[in-house]
Structure 1
């Protein structure tokens, strides 16, 4: 099965990118409230690829080990959401969140907790906002942290089988004047992606209707 089986139209892609950008903007506001400094997040592009392609793409972009916060979600569409950083960017995020004065040892000790909390704020905020805009609800699992390369991150797990596809989103972070790059990915099976496409079409129709009203 290939990613081409669920290609988004240009309108669907634009609408989904807008949904994600609204979601990450809400998440950035929540993160700003948590750490007390300006946080900017943006999602310039959305791609649908296979798990193998996603692993290759991130392997080409990132040579270092990756740190990932992931949460499973169920509801009108289901899958696994991942917030992905190169290892050093993850540590930079911990310093931005927990404090500039931390020693390397303290950063290491706090890394898991800070990443879990940050990932929960971003993933939960983003997905909850998107679901709300699509007039649906999602249930999220507790966040977990894992480390590894692209092959490990995007391997089939649980309810998301070997035919899963990946909504792959590059995100730009700016926290405390730091440039922290990262990615959001959503592993979803074909039925869930098709359900999401229907909800996006409904969202577009409502938006057009409001514009014409």
Structure 2
């Protein structure tokens, strides 16, 4: 299977579709964070599987990683990466916890991270389904107890020529004028990218299809 060819215009369209979904997710997240939330897709790249796994492994020791799988017509996953500082900040803002200690997550903290991931992945999947007329859904998020790279291999093992399309998203929320950034990795396999491109290529780009679906 050859690597998908993607033009700059198609890349921009995919970014715009994701940004529409992220705008909805930001509104939902803001209700929990009790403040303004900004979500943007700053980067899209095709990378080799080994590079993706290395990227994830680099975060493993320093971050709590929440994984949500995307299933149905598309195959992919989201990973939200929470550092100890992020967990402390979110616990203070969203759970009104005081003197939060870094380290092992409490049940409430783990539930909060799962809920944030659920909101963001759910909003993204809903918008992707609406705009691309696809039958997709997000599986319940989980905090992998084993190595996340191993967990990801479960998704990828069916795709020996898997060349993931990786979107890096920076979630930024402000509280009392202080800004907190949360990295989010969103990726799809090559087959999904080809399906997306087939759908996008049927769009009449003379009309603003994306806005009509909002």
| TM-score relative to the length of structure 1 | 0.79
Deviation (angstroms), 1:45? 1.0
Residues in 2 aligned to 1:71 and 1:149: alpha-carbon distance in whole angstroms: 15
Deviation (angstroms), 1:46? 0.9
Residues 124, 8 of structure 1: CA spacing in aligned structure 2 closer, same or farther, 3 A cutoff? same
Residues 185, 76 of structure 1: CA spacing in aligned structure 2 closer, same or farther, 3 A cutoff? same
Name the residue aligned to 2:183: 182
SS at match of 1:47: strand
Residues in 2 aligned to 1:179 and 1:99: alpha-carbon distance in whole angstroms: 16
Of the structure 1 ranges 147-156 and 39-48, higher mean CA displacement relative to structure 2 is found in 147-156
Name the residue aligned to 1:191: 191
Deviation (angstroms), 1:28? 0.4
Is 1:103 aligned to 2:104, yes or no? no
Residues 24, 147 of structure 1: CA spacing in aligned structure 2 closer, same or farther, 3 A cutoff? farther
For the 8 Å contact 1:64–1:87, the answer to whether it is kept is: no
Residues in 2 aligned to 1:145 and 1:43: alpha-carbon distance in whole angstroms: 23
SS at match of 2:68: strand
Residues 97, 8 of structure 1: CA spacing in aligned structure 2 closer, same or farther, 3 A cutoff? farther
SS at match of 1:108: coil
State the number of aligned residues: 205
Choose the corresponding residue for 2:71, options 65, 71, 74: 74
Residues in 1 aligned to 2:153 and 2:91: alpha-carbon distance in whole angstroms: 26
Q: Which has the higher helix share?
A: 1
| TM-score relative to the length of structure 2 | 0.79
Residues in 2 aligned to 1:164 and 1:85: alpha-carbon distance in whole angstroms: 26
SS at match of 1:71: strand
Deviation (angstroms), 1:95? 3.5
Choose the corresponding residue for 2:141, options 140, 143, 146: 143
Q: Which 5+ residue runs of structure 2 have no aligned equivalent?
A: 210-214
Q: Which 5+ residue runs of structure 1 have no aligned equivalent?
A: none
RMSD of aligned residue pairs (Cα, Å)? 3.0
For the 8 Å contact 1:51–1:154, the answer to whether it is kept is: no
